[in-house]
Amino acid sequence: MPVSIKFCGLSRERDIAAAVSAGARYVGFVHFAKSPRYIRVEDMAALALSVPPGVAKVLLTVNADDAALDDILARVPLDLLQLHGAESPARVAEVKARYGLPVMKAIGVASAADLARIDDYAPVVDQLLIDAKPPKDAELPGGNGLAFDWRLLAGRKYWPCPWMLAGGLTPDNVAEAVRLTGARQVDVSSGVESAPGVKNAVKMQAFAAAAGSVRAGGR
């Protein structure tokens, strides 16, 4: 089974085209004002229309309230909601019930102890995003270009729900990350950029080629 790729933090139509050309299964839009990849709702709506069928459009938000989500979803056709803040399992369940869309919750990992949180969220999510835990003083909950010790996931090929590996992935290390973790899906943002928020088509192709060089499941 080939590894599925999510290119996140897209903000230009050319980046959508590059992601699709590289074989993306998901494209991500960041609606979090502190991020250099932040995109306004009106721009997101225009970009979403350029995404072809078969590629899932993902909204990344951080602790967004119902009013913010109502506004976005009234204007943008989206397929998956990625909650990347401190949302509780109860809040995740509320979002899923309110909007009727699949929900993916990001879990920050720095040590084995952090993996225990997966059991709290697995019953209420459709997918998990296993990401590097941000430093205590970081302004961004993700997209910091940091990796965690992938050996923490070694041998954990089966989870209660589908999951995606994120955090510091690049064209140079994604194949090793997949081998070590058995990830069937990977998420990349800063690792394929020329500058913060500016995607590089060559790096995106290289990332896809590297991810495709090892089969999902680490084999």
Active-site residues, by number, are: 8, 131
Rounded Cα–Cα distance for residues 21 and 33 (Å): 28
Measured at the CA of 20, the angle between CA 16 and CA 22, to 5 degrees, comes to: 115
Q: What distance in Å separates the CA atoms of residue 200 and residue 208, rounded to the nearest whole number?
A: 12
DSSP 191-214: GGEEETTEE-HHHHHHHHHHHTTS
- For residues 187 and 142, give the distance between their C-alpha atoms in angstroms, rounded to a whole number: 11
Return left, alpha or beta for 44; rule: phi > 0 is left, psi -120 to 50 is alpha, else beta. alpha
Residue length of the chain = 219
Count Cα atoms within 13 angstroms, Cβ side, for 125: 31
